Amino acid sequence: MSLPLSLTSAFSLRVSLMKRKPLRQTLMDHGLLDDFLTKHPPSLPAKYLLTTDATEPLRNYMDLEYMGTISIGTPAQEFTVLFDTGSANLWVPSVYCSSDACADHRHYNPALSSTYCNATGSISTLYGTGSMMGYLAYDTVQVGGIQVSNQIFGISKTEHGSFFSYAPFDGFLGLAFPSISSSRATPVFDNMMSQGLVSQDLFSIYLTPDGKNGSFVMFGGIDDTYFTGNLSWIPLTAETYWQIKVDSITMYGHPIACPYGCQSIVDSGTSLVAGPAAGINNIQYKIGAVQASNSLYMVNCSFISRLPDIIFIINGIQFPLPPQAYIRQSGSCMSSFEVFDLHVADNELWILGDIFLRRYYSVFDRANNMVGLAPTA
């Protein structure tokens, strides 16, 4: 479905405004910032004018997870966290945690922070790979150079699941909507917006392939040097996860899954593309993937060059995934599609994880409740 010209123009205007330099940077470039601040002392309106975007570098761990370093407390206690658009809570291990999963990770100690405040209540989060339970606290959180005051977050008491034991990160920083936040704890990005710390109510993500460096999440801005063409804007179907509608999933022009449309979430915290059994199993069949003894689906490596693109049609636009993206090659060749049953409001959800996001620069727009996608440069 193509947009009417008037809407297309409106979106183009909005994108051009998003890419414009923040006022602070423009004044700095021309040597005028000091004079401006002298004549216009910071006030509440000026605070919003002088905000900027901030980039948090992400480390690519084997093309499986993307994580960055944040700090909590005064003085700062550093943690490595997974930046996850599929959840909404910030949490890290604490000195109160005795689970095996906490043993090899950093621990937050409230006694060492002068800005710590106790919060009434507990937190419990469940992921596809494990769960945690703990307490709530308030403290200063720094992310990508942005300092967020009085941020509520979880400190774990117990962590269950072998995934957490072996995870190369300490905790999670959720970037989804407050409606799915455990204990209704305000997410970090919501506080960035309400405290006027970002110039635009959006963030964008770029993920590198092949274990390369250079991945990032940018708060408050879009960097158009990392994608080609224009962003395609897709309206959200729910303000919970970053949920959108997929029209169909095709190969050679014919539907192979989701033939009548399906709901999907754009999830930086999931490595693969996941979905209901019927659709995933048909994709495995179409690409010649065979289940091995370890339950993984393997493909003959010599066949990869003959495999076609799998195309996700979203909002009438084609988003192809080539076989180099959906087949993981590390000695053997493994399909990057997996069965995972996730239901929301009677809808079976697909999950567009990192194998999709590595191909498409993604913008998560809270002001307009849209996701923007463009092919990576």
**Residues with active-site annotation:** 84, 267
Cα 372 from Cα 334, distance rounded (Å): 29
Cα 187 from Cα 177, distance rounded (Å): 7
Among 233, 242, 119, 76, CA closest to 174? 242
359: left (phi over 0), alpha (psi -120 to 50) or beta: alpha
Q: Is 242 exposed, middle or buried (0-12, 13-18, 19+ CB in 10 A)?
A: buried
Report yes or no: 159 and 132 within 8 Å, Cβ to Cβ: yes
- DSSP H stretches of helix in the chain: 5-19, 23-29, 33-39, 44-49, 100-103, 162-166, 188-194, 277-286, 323-326, 354-357
Residue written as token pair 């993604």: 362
